[in-house]
């Protein structure tokens, strides 16, 4: 597994875990996650451009996080 593949899967796991366990319906509803900041492309404690680049685009990021 490549480093980028590992990171993208880790990010997805972190963002979707509250959804999977039934704490929220959507990842953006979890206040303790970077998901909303990444979607809104708000630079704060994370480098949004770096994380989005692992997915190649914001649209790919959103698609990767699609809830089954």
Q: How far apart are CA 12 and CA 42, in angstroms?
A: 18
Contacts (Cβ under 8 Å, ≥6 apart) of 39:
28, 58, 61, 62
pTM equals 0.81
1 has pLDDT over 70: no
| pLDDT above 90: residue 68 | no
Domain range list for the chain: 3-64
What number of other Cβ atoms are within 10 A of residue 23's Cβ? Answer: 11
């Amino acid at each position: 597994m490549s480093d980028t593949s590992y990171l993208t899967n880790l990010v997805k796991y972190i963002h979707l875990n509250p959804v999977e366990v039934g704490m929220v319906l959507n990842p953006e509803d979890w206040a303790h996650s970077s998901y909303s900041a990444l979607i809104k492309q708000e630079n704060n404690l994370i480098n949004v451009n770096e994380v989005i680049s692992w997915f190649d685009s914001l649209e790919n990021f959103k698609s990767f996080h699609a809830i089954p």
